[in-house]
Structure 1
Amino acid sequence: MQMLWAYISEQNETVSNSAWALLILGVLLSLSIVVDTISRRTALPRISLLVLVGVGYALIQQGLMGREAEPLNGLREPLISLALVMVAFLLGGELTLSRLKSIGPLILVLSAAVVMGSLVTVFAGLWLLGYSFALAASLAAISVATDPAAVSEAIAESGKKSLVSRVTLGIVAIDDAWGIIVFGLCMALLSWIGAASGGASLMHALWELGGAVLLGVVLGFPAAWLTGQLKPGRPTQAEALALMLLMAGLSGYLNVSALLTAMVAGFVIVNVSSHHTRSFSEIEQIEWPFLVFFFVLAGASLTLSHLGTALGLVGAYIVLRSIGRYIGGYLGVLAMRQREPRLTTNIGLGLLPQAGVAMGMALLAAERFPEQGQLIVATVVTSTIIFELFGPLLVKRVIAKPGKNDAY
């Protein structure tokens, strides 16, 4: 018995990290099943529950064990990158040329107005409150993103088929695309401003955006061709997963925006390939386990010692983002009043839910600005839970008061 225990102890020193990583992955996927059951029975958002699981992990790791949470060791960054690439790729796949034409100027103007309202209000408000330029700009860019799933589910549950509900769905269909573009521009701008050598940093900023577009095109066209040559099933699944890994890996290697690369590749494939649905359906089938890891790890990234410091910033961010969404929607509706008088001016409040893309941006911003990283992550993780819990209620409230002739 003593020899057996000595052998186990000796082996534990060499394989404990990998064993713990596999054990944690298994536990997280098991918990996601429990979370899904709780969500269906209580109507609580799955995303918020998964983030709370991560916060619970951080609480155990930091509170009881007295150390910083670093779940899954070296697997954390690849899992997060892969999940974000999948989300952005599927988002790019929604941007078909026919859909963009059908969206029309009404939704484009309203979505741009809401984006600018959030961006300007959050940045100006946080900067005037004394927060650093980098922190204010990062959170302003993050504030642009919306959670399409939460908005869509809330509208579906309400049963409303009004003009307001259709316009809201149209806005969230392209809102995260705006968010990725704005976030990429913001990160490039901050890199340029913060660098010592202006010329070199400007080239780096342009490469980060232009290189992402170029890489997305270079990977997108061959993938579009290959999709039509492969039979549905395992070969297509392998091709889709290979594309995700290539985009995540090459983006990091070339130091370009992984989100923008994936969105451009998805856009190219969906508009070029006649068999584009195969790749996207395969990614949709395997996406959820990676999103489980992503949301839990986002919650686990929260440093509890910074939470008290971040409470004031969390409150300011929630208030400013809500005001910005409302003002943007209000001004957008006024601008289009002649074209469509039936729209309600509080439509921006129906765009408050915020989830995966926003947290992904927060983690990327934290890597770029480590001195502000903990505040950014704490703010976005905490506000995401609040927006996911109360945002759908506001969505239903906004679409619940249609005009007299609002059927569409």
Structure 2
Amino acid sequence: MEILLIGLLLLAGLVFGTLGSHYFGVPRVVGYILLGMLFAPDLLGGTLGMDATDWTRPMVAVSLGIIAYLVGGSATIGQLRRLGGTIVAATVGKVVGAFLAVFLVFGLLGTAVLDLPGWTFALVLAAIATTTAPAAIVAIIHQYRAAGPLTTALLGMVALDDALGLVIFSLVLALVGTAGLAEALPGAAWEIGAAIVFGGLAGWLIERLIRRLHEHELRLVALIGGIILLVGLADAWHFSELLAAMTFGFTARFFGGAHSERLFEPVEQLEELVFVLFFTFAGLHFDLGVVVEYAWLILLYFLLRAGGQILGSMAGAHLVKAPPEIAHNVGLGMLPQGGVAIGMALLLAGQERFAQSAELIVNIITASTLLTESIGAVAARYGLRRAGETERTLGGGVDEGR
């Protein structure tokens, strides 16, 4: 039955995404997510006998790994040198702004769920709020063929943003969980350090291998195999899959030098397939009951995170005197949130402190993620267009439905 559903999701997602882009001017990823929601277990998925989404996890992990690899290879050393200060300042501002906005408001409201008191719940939500989804950002950039300083800054911010988010989340777990700070910090260091080391080694090895493969098809097999192997190692050895894959792409670009495009062109041909799978699978996690019961909480979380990160990233960018097209739009571009946030929520299930509340938090974050992915995708496109970096604003005249 899973094979049947995958076929339906691919074809129907393609139709939804294309029609939505052509007739309503929204990014294709919005159509993919909405189509996935229709096939959630509470809706059409239940009719088809699909009462769980656990089977999607391996494909989601691989899809996110491919996307992260492309993110890591999107920026060159020269671009990062020119925009390094802006990327760091805007990212720190974005992370601090989102964390403080969510933490302070939910803490003051005293919102509690099951076994979690208000301030504890506020801390957990605030830590999760710091992360961003690279998938939606990359999908928008590639659909509208965006290029320019803002595009480069966004791609650079994604990697740094999620690394900071992992550190903050680990520290929060140390504060509210059963583990002490001294016990939690080594785990966070391993998760980030191992990801960088193994990702960098993978980038060096794949470049050495690809230079010996002259057929395009063989390069594709080697690249996808390398990404899957790295994601599998990250899952087995408990380091960040996302950061490892980003480092993989970055170091592959670095070692490839003038011939680095051969390390990315084969994978780029699979982009739209990966996007359809990733976003329709994200939609499958839609839980109508949670959305109805906690609609106010989900909406408030979305608004606080969005407002905090927009103001924070703008303040950080202005602090280093970034160009207006970056300072005024970078917060909009970083609105989407997805797999990393859900992954953090899932980690709570293994903590004794969250024995009762973990499943509820997972559903709340999943439901809010669908909102941030959909509205965030539209916001990201608006920010890129306002900065004059989409192909249409650059004079390409591309059809919106492509």
Map 1:36-55 onto structure 2 (within 5 A): 36-42=17-23, 43-55=25-37
> Letter of the aligned partner of 2:78 in structure 1?
S
**Structure 1: 5+ residue stretches without partners:** 1-19, 157-164, 401-408
**1:245 maps to 2:234:** no
* CA offset digits 1:167-221 (Å, max 9, x no partner): 4334313221222212322333244342435544332222122221222123222
Match of 2:99 among 110, 119, 144: 119
CA contact (8 A) 2:128 2:345 kept: no
Q: C-alpha distance in 1, partners of 2:341/2:214?
A: 38
Which AA in structure 2 matches 1:147? I
Distance 1:350 1:204, change over 3 A: closer
- SS of 1:387's partner is helix
Sort the Cα spacing of 1:128 and 1:150 in 2 relative to 1 into closer, same or farther, 3 A: farther
Q: How big is each residue's C-alpha offset from its partner over 1:236-289, in whole Å with a ceiling of 9 and x where there is no partner?
A: 111101111101111111011100111111111111124332222222112332
Q: Does the Cα contact within 8 Å between 1:325 and 1:352 map onto a contact in 2?
A: no
Cα pair 1:93 1:263 within 8 Å, conserved = yes
**Greater shift in the superposed pair: 246-255 or 104-113:** 104-113
Which sections of structure 2, spanning at least 5 residues, go unmatched? 112-120, 350-357, 390-402
Q: Which has the larger radius of gyration?
A: 1
Separation of aligned partners in 1, 2:221 and 2:170? 33
- Which residue of the partner structure matches residue 130 of structure 2? 141
Matched, 1:32 2:13: yes
Distance 1:125 1:284, change over 3 A: farther
Distance change (3 Å), C-alpha of 1:106 and 1:58 = closer
Q: Write the distance in 2 (CA, Å) between the matches of 1:364 and 1:139.
A: 9
CA RMSD of aligned residues (A): 3.2
Question: 1:92 & 1:47 partners in 2: Cα distance?
Answer: 21
CA distance in 2 between counterparts of 1:77 and 1:125 reads 33
Residue correspondence of structure 1 range 149-228 to structure 2 within 5 A: 149-150=139-140, 166-193=148-175, 194-196=177-179, 199-228=182-211
Q: Deviations along 1:150-178, whole A, 9 cap, x unmatched?
A: 3687796xxxxxxxx95433431322122
1:84 to 33, 56, 64: 64
Q: 1:65 to 1:284 in 2, by over 3 A?
A: same
Cα distance 1:199–1:148, how it changes in 2: closer, same or farther (>3 A)?
same
Cα gap change, 1:389 to 1:217, in 2 (>3 Å): closer
Stretch moving more, 170-179 or 342-351: 342-351
Q: 1:109 corresponds to which letter in structure 2? A: A
Shift of 1:326: 3.6
Aligned equivalent of 2:348: 369
Asked if 2 retains the 8 angstrom alpha-carbon contact of 1:111 and 1:171, the reply is no
1:90: how far off?
Answer: 1.0
Cα 1:128/1:39, change in 2 over 3 Å: same
How many Å separate the matches in 2 of 1:192 and 1:27? 43
Q: Is the 8 A contact 2:69 2:249 kept in 1?
A: yes
Residues 85, 397 of structure 1: alpha-carbon distance in 2 compared, 3 angstrom cutoff: closer
Q: Which of the numbers 374, 381, 396 marks the counterpart of 2:370? A: 381
- Identity, % of aligned positions: 23
Residues 87 and 157 in structure 2, CA contact (< 8 A), matched pair in contact too = no
CA distance in 2, matches of 1:140, 1:351: 15
Find the aligned partners of 1:70 and 1:352 in 2 and give their Cα distance: 32
Q: Which residue of 2 aligns with 1:292?
A: 276
For 1:276 and 1:80, locate their aligned partners in 2 and report how far apart those are by CA, in whole Å.
26
Distance 1:59 1:45, change over 3 A: farther
Corresponding residue for residue 405 of structure 1: none
Instruction: Please name the residue that 1:11 is paired with.
Output: none
Give the Å deviation of 1:313: 2.1
* Structure 1 partner of 2:219: 236
- Give the TM-score of the pair, scaled to structure 2: 0.79
Kindly indicate which of the two structures has a greater share of residues assigned to helix: 1
Distance in 1, matches of 2:143 and 2:44, equals 35
AA partner of residue 128 (structure 2): L
Give the secondary structure class of the aligned counterpart of 1:147: helix
How many residues are treated as equivalent by the alignment? 366
